[in-house]
């Protein structure tokens, strides 16, 4: 079965325009390892259980008396009742149906009608973390690293704004290519992207693509405001972390009003879906939190500047393309589509999680990866 973007379009034109299924990119059955934004932190109250569906997996989340959050598969391994109907007992949850109790590791610790719990009565647990005012979930019991923070503000206290989720009727990987698609940005937004620097692996987890362009003069209020604040030139970096987080570093190497170096503005995207057939990508404006009245004003200004940069690039683009997109990758141009091809190769190298229903588990060959196009200059 081919599951690119809108599943209902996959069966069309198979005789003349067949689709090949990729290992990870655009594949609804492949869920890469990594952190996924699940919900707002405020939604999870102490001693309350909530259930969520994300990436094809139903989970329950609760906050214990200490304030720590925990997550398990939603359905009791005994007879399958959703544990959200149960109750919190300390760091554990008890199923309402037959009273079985499970700790935060998913182990059964008590069965009312048995002297000792059944060892096989275990359910899958998941690592959770609170970051950017959100609960994040990792599709395994232990996460090897924390939620991604932009490199330039790591180790600092953070401030953020949540923006409205971008809901698209397609696989969430498809919108990831927009910011690095030079032909699309020119055709739709009238922005001439000039690739500069290189496509590179910043570290083992992060693919980085540097792009720049002139801001179109235009007649819109937003366009005029952008040119007044940022000047005629605009540069940004698209970074991709694992297979589920993206970073847009806007206003890169720009002088405000032509005089002062602009602070770097970061937008972290959680790449996810809640229901198959529709993505829900969450943009989060992130910057360093500054103390003192004037410093706080500067923080809010940076967040506002980040939002303006985002709106300039987004330009109110909605579902008009994704409604009818049946994504193909076999006719990408070697020159102009090099960033897109590199991103697809990067995503296809990602190891898959237990949430995946496809049989293939990708093993990264680091020697092969080091010889790939990830660290090559952009010639387009």
102 and 213 belong to one structural domain = no
Residue 156 vs residue 330, higher pLDDT: 156
Domain CATH for 86 = 2.102.10.10
Q: Output the pTM of the full model.
A: 0.85
What range does the domain containing 126 cover? 36-138
184 and 117 belong to one structural domain = no
Pair of tokens at residue 204? 């083992």
The pLDDT tens digits for 159-217 are 999 999 988 888 899 888 877 877 776 666 566 555 555 789 998 889 999 887 666 66
Domain boundary among 138, 165, 199: 138
- Look at residue 273 and give its three-state secondary structure: strand
**What is the number of other CB atoms lying within 10 angstroms of the CB of residue 118?**
12
Domain boundary among 138, 164, 181: 138
Pair of tokens at residue 67? 């304030």
Full strand arrangement of the beta sheet holding 101-102:
87-89, 92-94, 101-102, 108-110
Selection from 41, 378, 35 nearest residue 212 by Cα? 378
130 and 159 belong to one structural domain = no
With vertex at residue 168, the alpha carbon angle to CA 268 and CA 278, rounded to the nearest 5 degrees, is 105
Domain CATH for 210 = 3.30.530.20
160 and 305 belong to one structural domain = yes
Selection from 210, 176, 198 nearest residue 32 by Cα? 176
Domain boundary among 109, 138, 167: 138
Q: Report the DSSP beta bridge partners of residue 195.
A: 211
Residue 23 lies in a domain: no
Summarize the confidence of residues 88-101 as an average pLDDT. 96
Residue 66 vs residue 224, higher pLDDT: 66
Dihedral sign for Cα 154, 157, 162, 163, please: negative
Residue 145 lies in a domain: no
122 and 165 belong to one structural domain = no
186 and 327 belong to one structural domain = yes
Check whether 376 has a pLDDT greater than 60: no
170 and 292 belong to one structural domain = yes
The pLDDT tens digits for 219-256 are 566 667 767 777 777 777 899 999 899 998 876 667 77
Measured in degrees and rounded to the nearest 5, phi and psi for residue 234 equal -140, 130
Residue 146 lies in a domain: no
Residue 9 lies in a domain: no
263 close to 319: Cβ distance less than 8 angstroms: no
346 and 324 belong to one structural domain = yes
The pLDDT tens digits for 260-312 are 777 778 999 999 999 988 899 999 999 999 888 888 898 888 888 788 767 76
Q: What is the pLDDT of residue 117?
A: 83
Residue 18 lies in a domain: no
Residue 67 lies in a domain: yes
Measured in degrees and rounded to the nearest 5, phi and psi for residue 349 equal -90, -5
The fraction of the chain above a pLDDT of 90, given in percent, is 45
Per the structure, the count of domains in the chain is 2
Distances (CA, A) of 25 to 5, 178, 190, 347, 358: 10, 14, 28, 6, 13
């Amino acid at each position: 079965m081919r599951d690119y973007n809108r599943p209902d379009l996959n069966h069309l034109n198979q005789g003349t325009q067949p689709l090949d299924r990729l290992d990870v990119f655009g594949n609804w059955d492949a869920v890469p390892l990594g952190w996924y934004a699940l919900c707002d932190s405020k939604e999870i109250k102490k001693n309350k259980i909530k259930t969520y569906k994300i990436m094809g997996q139903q989970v329950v989340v609760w906050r214990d008396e200490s304030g720590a959050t925990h997550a398990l598969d939603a359905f009791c391994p005994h007879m399958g009742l959703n544990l959200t109907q149960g109750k919190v007992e300390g760091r554990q949850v008890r199923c309402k149906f037959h009273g079985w109790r499970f700790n935060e590791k998913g182990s059964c610790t008590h069965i009312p009608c048995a002297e000792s719990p059944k060892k096989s009565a275990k359910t899958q647990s998941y690592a959770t973390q609170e970051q950017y005012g959100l609960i994040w979930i990792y599709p395994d019991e232990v996460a090897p690293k924390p939620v991604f923070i932009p490199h330039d503000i790591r180790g600092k206290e953070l401030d953020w704004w949540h923006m409205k989720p971008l809901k698209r009727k397609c696989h969430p990987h498809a919108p990831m290519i927009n910011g690095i698609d030079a032909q699309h940005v020119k055709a739709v937004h009238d922005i001439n992207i000039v690739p500069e620097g290189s496509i590179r692996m910043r570290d083992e987890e992060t693919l980085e693509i540097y792009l720049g362009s002139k801001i179109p003069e235009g007649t819109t209020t937003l366009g005029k405001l952008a040119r007044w604040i940022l000047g005629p030139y605009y540069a940004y970096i698209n970074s991709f972390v694992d297979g589920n987080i993206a970073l847009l570093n806007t206003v890169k190497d720009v002088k405000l009003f032509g005089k002062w170096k602009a602070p770097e503005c970061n937008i972290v995207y959680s790449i996810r879906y809640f229901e198959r057939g529709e993505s829900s990508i969450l943009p989060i404006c992130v910057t360093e939190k500054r103390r003192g009245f004037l410093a706080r004003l500067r923080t809010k200004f940076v967040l506002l500047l980040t939002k303006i940069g985002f709106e300039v690039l987004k330009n109110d683009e909605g579902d008009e393309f994704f409604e009818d997109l049946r994504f193909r990758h076999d006719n990408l141009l070697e020159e102009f589509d090099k960033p897109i091809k590199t991103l697809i190769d990067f995503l296809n190298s990602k190891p898959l999680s237990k949430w995946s229903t496809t049989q293939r588990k990708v093993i990264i060959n680091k020697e092969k990866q080091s010889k790939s196009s990830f660290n090559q200059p952009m010639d387009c």
